[in-house]
A and B are shown apart, each in its own frame.
Chain A
Amino acid sequence: MGNPTDDPWWFSTTDHKKIGIRYLYTAFAFLLLGGIEALILRVQLAQPNARLLSPEAYNQLFTMHGISMIFLYAQPILSGFSNYLWPLLLGSRDMAFPRLNALSYWVFLAAGLFIYSSFLVGAAPNDGWFNYVPYANREYNPGPNIDFLALGMILLGISTTVGGINFVVTTFKMRAPGMSINRMPILIWGTLTASVANIFVIPVVSLAFFLLWLDRQFGTDFFRVEAGGQPLLWQHLFWIFGHPWVYAIILPAMGMVSDALPVLCRRPLVGYTFVALATVATMAIGFGVWTHHMFVTGLPGISLSFFSGASIVIAIPSAVSVFAWIATIWTGRPVLNTAFLFFASFIVLFVIGGVSGFMTASVPVDWQLHDTYFVVAHIHYVLIGINVFPVIGAFYHWLPKMSGRLMSETLGLWNFWLMFIGMNLAFLPMHLTGLWGMPRRVYTYGESFGWNTLNMITTIGAFVFAAGVLVFLVNVFLTLRSGRRAGANPWAAGSLEWATTSPPPPYNFAVIPTVRSRYPLWEHQLRDTPHRSEPYRGLELAKGHEALKSSTLDAEPQAILPMPHASLDPVLLTLGLAVLFVALLVHGWWVALGSGLFILGVVIHWIWPRAEFGSREPPEEEAAHG
């Protein structure tokens, strides 16, 4: 008999590993698209007064670059890793809601394609990734450009929200017996924090985009100044979402480093509790700093002071993580492989992105820095430094688990140095471009501003960086085709995902492991826990048909849940949503109605109670000593 999450059709899988890998492929594809857009922009900006792009072409490309990287790459790639790794890290069979997981992926794909399809009609979004009104209003932007974005973002919001709910429930209910919350890997903390934040803030931005769409299509007046609407309302709604989102796309990446760096330093993470708390604290404070994106909008002095203070204080939890990583290196024995280079250099890039953020947090200074290339440099140190570098490092670290094959270290070195040099060549001088006053989002600039050389250097750096990404792709391709066999635990790591084979079987673990410490596979070397974890012995649930539900804090077994079988519902629901959103875009109201009914039907089929979904009690003796 096959595995429950086995798919009779390719479309119907609910296996978190397959979904995770699809996330990784898709997000990476958007990274490449966004990268190509960036290179075109950089060619235009390499010299003053260039004429490669018209202003409108430039505006669409820079907008799509931002949207691709921030919405379609940075968060989904982390969802990919989390989807793949979570159940393995937690010693679980799958996510709490495997079908929701599939839905989350398909809707993400649909949203990405929806937004990108705007290129087909030559009307890609053109108002930057934060899409300020009134420029996004119909009066100033009559084409369908902004409608693609507004509807696409609502669609993407559905994906992120259901994904977030799944992560939260999985953390609290699907951990292996004994994995109390103080034993969870930091990646879990990062993604959990990000998911909780997303559940709160995605509705805000979805609402904002919905109101904008109403303004544009039906003449409502939420943002239309002529009718008493408020442009600043948009900015508040957007940044209440936007700032936590920035943390949502870095905290899981920081989590991956906090988990993998200690493996390569041959010791447990220094200050686990502090790092976990810092993760949560960052997000908590992160909810109170959104107006630092609005320091120049004429806010009263008192609120400037408050948000300035909060934005400076938020650096403290980051300092905790940075010193924990440095301490881990200093008190460990670093093994210098490619993954390690990415993680270690990430610490420096993180700090550069951090201190430039600290500079912008100081209001009077920000009045100068704001909207200059200094901020562009800052955001790229944050996004490339704190997201892309950990992600590439994570591929070197975990692709062996996913594929069963090791990546080439020789190509890895090329990959690392090209990316590291390219990154710093492109973006370190860019701080100076900003300090010398170059505005962001300009399609060209005059030759007498003193920015010519700096821009040329940045463009060269961008291409060097792109070469590094190319080497990475080659390396992945060769690894998947003919890489050396990795074995179950090539890095002699300590967490549960390394207890199972590489690649793991569809059911992840033959038995449900029992956990007694943070590093179950290191206990025999660390020898500092009274009880030993049992990674290879435990509950044997009906050949992967079932998963264990455990208690929220201490992970005591509570019930045994049957796993849903592969299902076509997620992909059908996504199809329905896609048709609905296209219909809304082109005002096909009857089609919209039809697809709405179709969606309703699929949802009913999805949630229809079925006997096979009943849970049962865990066996006596296991529950007793759990």
Chain B
Amino acid sequence: MPEMLSLSNDPILFLSLMLAKILAVFIVVILIVAYATYAERKIIGRMQTRLGPTMTGPLGLLQPIADGLKLFFKEDIIPAQSSKLAFLLAPMMILVPAFITVAVIPFGGDVVIKGFAVPLQITDLNIGILYILAMAGLGVYGIVLAGWASNSKYSLLGGIRSAAQVISYELAAGLAIIAVFMLSGTLSLRGIVAAQSGSVLDWYIFSQPLAFCLFVITSLAEINRTPFDLPEAETELVSGFCTEYSSMKYALFFMAEYANMIVVSAITATLFLGGPAGPFAGPINLLLKVFFFMFLFIWIRATFPRVRYDQLMFMGWKVFLPLALLNIVITGAVVVFL
């Protein structure tokens, strides 16, 4: 068993590999973000008997780039009555947590380089899950700030909705995962993947089906996707918290939405589907699982109506939370008595 590469045994190699990993992950995530918008438009288009983008490039493949360029060159409007600093900060505050969450997600087993074992993961925090939950919690500040700083009533309503929604659903999501690490006995994502590394049946989706469903649903709510897209519910609040945003700042919100989708898919894959385990090379397995969840999210968006604010709260506090608690109790009983 080769020694784990760390800052103490080969600092140069460690740092350069670390940079390479960060860059690789970042590029992959950005690419997926760009093409997730394309895929979403194509898939929803097809489901709605339309074609989606077809004009820019072959099959419309250059559409995300065209969109990006367009947004980049749009006039950047900052409303006169807005609170400037907060207005500027908000889009970054929402995008950055989304991106840095990816840091703890393992995308493969260890590879041996120069006699050292290098984990395919940017960093393995021993409190990985807490870190993820914390970052998810940070993201909501961006939304609230955006809603408040715009000084527009629709934005404000969107911001408030989002705050309430994310807080209530984070609780349920957090409790749903507790059952997982009650089984794994560790908070490190690497550890959790290792705990599922036996056969397919070791994946926690089979031992924790309820937690899996709860987590998928609550995370849909956390990232404000249909049917829980209330903070931006375009038919009610025009565009919710990002009503007043334009140009690149709007693009950041847009990217954050998709980045969040990727993060949530990756977390779900890691916690319940064995992470990088599977028939192919580690990163490909993980990507396939991520794509599966993203497709699911898109599919759901094409199909379901939006729930109402009070119903959302009701479900969060009175359905999902008790279910998550129940799940913990059952898991606890099983762990202790069996």
**Do A and B interact?**
no
